[in-house]
Structure 1
């Protein structure tokens, strides 16, 4: 064989080997990945050829499938009464696209989950079409409705916000509402042009209705973060609930000329006041000084004990990490890298400002941990996985993320302080007759210029739990935008308090 022919033969052999390697890789290594990829059109079409399982809240389906007379055998349907209420949790099913529980529990809902193998085998032997399994959520229907309608009625058609309610002892998510929302039926249609047009309209909406603000939006938590600062001060032995704490009409942290004030609350003006009064009236000067006394390392440790700077939600994708800053970037001109927070920056973190950022779910977890004697539970949405015939295949067991974010004694002292905030202070809108409620308001400035002086409106927060002595529910309300409200109307107590109260009453059936 001459040299040119030998070269061509070797080249062809290499091409053949490359082809064999590629085929082997695709059929054996990547096969499962491609088969489960929702963008795979053949897999998507096959999933429509059998009845997809239901997503249930209690005994009521909030996502189901019905026979269709087009090229696909079944159409995904979200009952109109709760479509928008539950959409941020259920997500939607579209050809080549899934979100929310529809995505995270896709293997169960399609019937492909290994736990449903026996059911698929029985269906095959009987000659029946295989059906997907059901997913039962932890949501409380009354609490979810109260949360969504509270946001809608309080904020109006242009508002934005979210609510999360947890069962403190287990981590069960009892409500997860995000506003504005959308109708997933518009995206689940088999008319691809209509589905595409609906998605484009939603994606272009500046209010981002497709966003689940409960887990994907993080903002300055403002004074609700004082739960973390107060817990750290007690946990580290610096103060107890009955002690006097530093206060004052204003406070200038070391190393800065900028002062921290209390927005005119004269109750905070004495140099020292009771811990209860400082929390009742949300004295910025107190909690800024407590944070400086603790220092950034202890503040960060306490925040991370509650869940900041970590991921913990397994049942939905896209959780945004809540942040307590691990440092401050140093300009390249000064050598680059990061440095520790200054005392002035640490003071700001003590009141939930500077670079502290939180999701509503995270603040609900902080509140629930205090209600649960200091134990942080993993939040979860999937309660049970069932067969199509409603036989239970798997139930979720509660899981401790941190058995002692704070001690039981610290939790009791913080609970007493938070009950006082509802009974005597700014959180009174959450009071429920005959029930001892613990709560805290929060108003977070988003710019250095206040709303009344032409700056952007603040964010409003509210957290609470009840009954205080044996909590069944912990709630976090976040108001991101309330454009129909005047500056002096945007406050955690005024806007978030009644919503939190309605959600707690729904769980407690008051």
Structure 2
């Protein structure tokens, strides 16, 4: 009996020993880099517990503007000090002389430090190249002059670029084969999210030294520099943004206190986004508190800007020429117009933005074919696949941007209701299009009917600046408006600005000659009591310039403003003038 108990006890001990050995093998051999469902990297965690380190570069790829100027970071020459300096004699006076600061200032910072510090803290002391050479020539352990990357607190085109965040589970869902750097940041919006696979870091660059339980040097004062071994990575994304133009238009938006809306600038020839300003501005510390939405890619009510599509369709379909007159003393229902203009033709109707003309034409078009307005919105580049999309490596139809789908009608029933069609013809009812789509429409007209996909990124680059992949200019497949219709629209849109009766004569004093279209869209919302004075509108102007040799498209929208506030013409004019100054400085 006793022997049986001993045998049983021995078996239990053996099983416990096997279980413990298996657990140790799991920790030490099999799951060292991806332990548990949370994919914890045990090697990294053990190193973190017994080291102090200063990250010089997180290792994630960055975003550059069209000229290679960093958008998401700045590089600064800084002085790095390690806390063990407080426990040793070192030539602090020599370092102080090079920096032209008291030695006591440096000593006090070291004394307060719990880990490696950048001298100067949040506003680091910037070193010249000469100061860096002098400090590093002293060869003091624990004292390093180096170039460090700092994340920009205010990123230009922040909603377009997007933000990053830490999410271990999401990281492993996206990249199940990657175990290193499981806690690193991933893109969660904008270009950061779309281009995440190219940007995700392989390894940080950092200064590191081993410490004991009290934080003292474990193996002396030997500081090591660890960095990725591959000099070509991480990759950078070169955008089409022009940093100077971007900042200039952001200043315009803030000067006019745009609370909701923004400005979008396109290069007509290249079909590239040069600037994208969306308000409210994104808060760097809390990006999703209200400023994360990029209204330049969001479908909005366009109002009379949509009349451009109706005019194109009517001319292409042979429903109208300049001899036909419309009763612009009447509104779309046949009552007295708020602003009577008499009997006028299509050219004058665009100039004065006559609602009756485009309500009538919309009804005639839908009677002919109730999908014609949708078709011409695509033909002119307003809706459809308007942003760059194509095959990139193993991706099929890789999209650079996430753009809201535009629409003309919400249901087939609306196409058959003449009331709904009349309102659709003037850009109301259920019409929703993006500022990007409107910009692309204006670029299509300016090019004589050619339509191209719009790019926000020109290439993905290696660290040495050579291209890993370039995004070519791509035509939008499908039918377009005729060159003749495009030419007539160019003339008519110019008349909006330069004719005495045009709605945008204010823009005649702009630095460039402009062709474009106004829009004042009713949103159906009110600020406070539901009375006319509190009704909210989206105010638009979309145009291209210089008219004689089109180079740029600018779209400006001021959303949710009352009829007596948020004037769009000064915003647009100052935007044009800002581009002119940059072009001629």
How much has 1:500 moved relative to structure 2?
A: 4.5
**2:212 maps to 1:132:** no
Q: Is the 8 A contact 2:160 2:191 kept in 1?
A: yes
Deviations 1:217-259 (A, max 9, x none): x22100111111111111112223x333313222455xxxxx5
Q: Is the 8 A contact 2:157 2:275 kept in 1?
A: no
**2:506 maps to 1:429:** yes
Q: 1:105-504, aligned counterparts within 5 Å?
A: 105-110=195-200, 127=229, 131-155=233-257, 159-184=259-284, 186=285, 198=286, 202-203=288-289, 208-216=290-298, 218-240=299-321, 242-253=322-333, 262=337, 264-266=338-340, 268=341, 270=342, 272-295=343-366, 296-307=370-381, 310-313=384-387, 314=389, 316-325=400-409, 327-328=411-412, 340-402=415-477, 404-424=479-499, 425-431=502-508, 435-447=512-524, 453-482=532-561, 487-493=563-569, 496-502=571-577, 504=579
Structure 2 unaligned blocks of 5 or more: 1-33, 46-54, 81-114, 117-146, 168-185, 203-225, 390-398
Distance, in Å, in 2 between the alignment partners of 1:40 and 1:308 is 45
Q: Is the 8 A contact 2:533 2:563 kept in 1?
A: no
Q: Is the 8 A contact 1:135 1:382 kept in 2?
A: yes
Distance, in Å, in 1 between the alignment partners of 2:335 and 2:567 is 18
Q: 1:183 to 1:52 in 2, by over 3 A?
A: same
More helix by share: 1
Q: 1:106 to 1:449 in 2, by over 3 A?
A: closer
How much has 1:299 moved relative to structure 2?
A: 1.5
**3-state SS of the aligned residue for 1:265?**
coil
Aligned pair count reads 414
Counterpart in 1 of 2:59?
A: 51
Structure 1 unaligned blocks of 5 or more: 1-33, 113-123, 187-197, 254-258, 329-337
**3-state SS of the aligned residue for 1:61?**
coil
Distance, in Å, in 2 between the alignment partners of 1:127 and 1:281 is 64
Distance, in Å, in 1 between the alignment partners of 2:386 and 2:56 is 32
Distance, in Å, in 1 between the alignment partners of 2:414 and 2:261 is 34
What value does the CA root-mean-square deviation take over the aligned residues? 3.6
How much has 1:318 moved relative to structure 2?
A: 3.5
TM-score (norm 1): 0.72
Q: Is the 8 A contact 2:331 2:356 kept in 1?
A: yes
**3-state SS of the aligned residue for 1:480?**
strand
Distance, in Å, in 1 between the alignment partners of 2:279 and 2:377 is 27
How much has 1:428 moved relative to structure 2?
A: 2.6
Q: 1:261 to 1:501 in 2, by over 3 A?
A: farther
How much has 1:383 moved relative to structure 2?
A: 1.0
How much has 1:360 moved relative to structure 2?
A: 0.9
Q: Which has the higher contact order (CA 8 A, sep 6+)?
A: 1
TM-score (norm 2): 0.63
Deviations 1:19-60 (A, max 9, x none): xxxxxxxxxxxxxxx9xxxx98869x9999862223111131
How much has 1:77 moved relative to structure 2?
A: 4.0
Counterpart in 1 of 2:161?
A: 90
Q: Is the 8 A contact 1:56 1:137 kept in 2?
A: yes
Q: Is the 8 A contact 1:461 1:491 kept in 2?
A: no
